[in-house]
Chains A and B, each alone.
Chain A
Amino acid sequence: MIIVDNLLLTKQWKKIEKYAYFGIAVSLVILVAISSTSSQSLVRIQKDFNWATNTREVLVNLSYFLSSLKDAEMGQRGFMLTGQESYLDPYKYVEKGVKSHFTTLRGIAADNITQQTRIDTCERLVTEKMQDLQEMITLQKNKGAEAVKKVILTGTGKQIMDEIQTLVLKMDEEERTLLDQRSKGIALRVKLDAVVKTIGFILLLITAFLIISRENYWFAEYRNSAKEQMDLINMKSDFVATVSHELRTPLKAIRESIAIVLDGLAGQVNEEQKKFLAVSERNVDRLARLIDNVLDCQKLNSGKTVLDLCDNDINETAQEVYGLMTRLAEKKGLNISMKLDGQLPKIKFDRDKIIQVLTNLVHNAIKFTEKGAIAIATGMDNNVLCVSVKDTGRGITREDMHRIFNRFEQISCNNHKKTGGVGLGLSISKDIIQLHNGRIWAESEPGKGTTVSFMLPITVLEKI
């Protein structure tokens, strides 16, 4: 039976594992996507930033150029009025630097074709202007200020300068809009990057949440759909059916035979004989209890247990268990008491099954308590009925607490401590309480005592 269980577990685990791997793969893909878009947009931002710096450089260059050109014109005018050569310094400076200046400008404005043509025109105009200036300087030198004045009055020099100025203005405007666009682009990209990251992480969270929440669903789905698994369960319970018949039938015969001899139906029985018949009876009962527990456990486990729900009084049920167990407790010198809440409503539960649970709990309390008292209590709390069995026994350590409701789990306080039983009582009790939609739990202070309690919902249970 245990081997079959392991097989089921392994299969279910494999199924879950598959989904878990799928989930992890999805998460990885999302992670890779986030980091790649993020690094791409980082590269783009870097580029945009470079271009923006470029634009700024072009602007500075242009304004600088315009002012040196103006200086040159001013200097030339001063020279023409005074004839002093020193006024020509700025002019000479511009003349010398004009070529290299335009090369740099072309280089840094390489990203923009319209600007390139403008730079071409600009260079042509500047050269023209410079020629113009040169001509006038020669004129001044050869023919004097009067001749120059005449030429100036024709206005061609001013016209060229105006043209250059408008052109530079246009270029300046263009670069400014570019700068504006590029800074906006950077801001947009930074925002976009943040948005992509956020969406990515939200997706990641959703995947994680889905994996966790769907796991149970997948588990159940698999349980319902896999045919081979159902076959295994069926095989298991068929086996249980045969075994339970074969175990219980001979036991029944032995029990009844002993009863017949004990009751004197088969002739006179002396005290010595009675003593040994009592030994048999006790031990057959013990064996029968064990067999019942093993088979009950198996039945609960394969989901074949059907509850017989009727309106019942929990106090009356507790009283019945109290009556059944007092003798056992008193034989061990333990005082057993009851504290019942008289105001409890009747609720629907399976009376025999709850008696079984309570008997298990009281039996444990007696078994694991050497001296002191056992108290059974009922009560109501927040629309649930509560029943608890409290003892003053050896208690359960914190580490053992989570194991006691497992099947075949017995906590030994000494090596091979023989307390009877096989560790099924609490597991069966838990299954029965859970079938009722209730809850069972234990609280304990090691060395001082244990309280095992269960609660049953008051509301009518829908179809179980």
Chain B
Amino acid sequence: MDNKKILLVDDEQDTLLVIEKQLTAAGFKVVTAENGANALLLAKIERPDIIVLDIQMPDMDGGEVASLLKQEPITENIPVIYSTCLLSENEVYRYGENIMLAKSKDTKELIAVINEILSQE
């Protein structure tokens, strides 16, 4: 089976470093972007299977990135998981195919959600 590709977007380098390591260990291919503009670019070039998006970022926040992704035919169908500090650990929001998770949640939980979404496709 092909390794699924995940685009990880967060403006905190340390967060990227840690999550990337854990996702790689779980068998995913990981690409990272430190800001919205890079995320849009990489989404087009790398065609990830799923995007994990931080909401609070400078210049362009997660919401803006997501709505721009929806405007492009190449990227509009990529599922997005928001990972945010705005939620406390046990809160989960789902609307449509989008899921919002607390950043402080265990990365294992993030992996579980990713697998759930990928299995639905």
Contact = CB atoms under 8 A, between A and B. Distances in A.
B32 to A, nearest CB: 14
Nearest to B56: A416
B58 A416 contact: yes
Contacts of A92: none
Interface stretch (B1-9, B10-18, B37-45, B113-121): B10-18
Contacts of B59: 414, 417
Contacts of A276: 17-18, 21
Interface string B50-67: 000000111101000000
B61 A418 contact: no
A414 B14 CA distance: 22
A153 interface: no
A276 B25 CA distance: 14
A439 B109 CA distance: 51
B18 A418 contact: no
Contact of B14 (A279, A415, A417): A279
A279 B57 contact: no
Interface in B61-98: 61
A282 interface: yes
A117 B17 CA distance: 121
Interface in A380-436: 414-418
A415 B62 CA distance: 11
Nearest to B59: A414
Contacts of B18: 276, 279
A418 B11 contact: yes
Interface string A332-372: 00000000000000000000000000000000000000000
A283 interface: yes
A258 to B, nearest CB: 14
Which range contains the number of A residues in contact with the other chain? 10 to 19
Nearest to A413: B58
B57 A416 contact: yes
Contacts, number: 23
B110 to A, nearest CB: 18
Given A276-B21, A415-B61, A416-B61, A282 B56 contact: no
Contacts of A417: 58-59
Which range contains the number of B residues in contact with the other chain? 10 to 19
A282 B12 CA distance: 12
Interface string A275-300: 11001001100000000000000000
A92 B17 CA distance: 134
A414 B37 CA distance: 15
Contacts of B21: 276
Nearest to A416: B56
A416 B61 CA distance: 8
Given A415-B61, A418-B11, A279 B17 contact: yes
Interface string A114-158: 000000000000000000000000000000000000000000000
B17 A414 contact: no
Contact of B56 (A275, A279, A283, A418): A418
A282 B56 CA distance: 21
Contacts of A282: 14
Contacts of B56: 416, 418
A369 to B, nearest CB: 15
Contact of A283 (B11, B14, B57, B61): B14
Contacts of A275: 17
A282 B11 CA distance: 16
A276 B107 CA distance: 15
A282 B15 CA distance: 12
B73 to A, nearest CB: 28
A415 B65 CA distance: 14
A63 B12 CA distance: 111
A6 B18 CA distance: 41
A253 B59 CA distance: 37
A418 B58 contact: yes
Nearest to B55: A416
Contacts of A283: 14
A331 to B, nearest CB: 12
Nearest to A419: B58
Contacts of A416: 56-58, 61
Nearest to A417: B58
A279 B14 CA distance: 6
A415 B11 CA distance: 14
Nearest to A415: B61
Nearest to A412: B58
Nearest to A279: B14
Best-surrounded residue of A276, A279, A416 (most CB of chain B within 10 A): A416
A275 B17 CA distance: 9
Interface in B15-41: 17-18, 21
Contacts of B14: 279, 282-283
Interface of A: 275-276, 279, 282-283, 414-418
22 contacts: A275-B17, A276-B17, A276-B18, A279-B14, A279-B17, A279-B18, A282-B14, A283-B14, A414-B58, A414-B59, A415-B61, A416-B56, A416-B57, A416-B58, A416-B61, A417-B58, A417-B59, A418-B11, A418-B12, A418-B56, A418-B57, A418-B58
Given A415-B61, A416-B56, A416-B58, 5 more contacts: A279-B18, A282-B14, A414-B58, A417-B58, A417-B59
Q: Which 6 A-B residue pairs are closest in the complex by CB-CB distance?
A: A416-B56, A417-B58, A279-B14, A414-B58, A414-B59, A416-B61
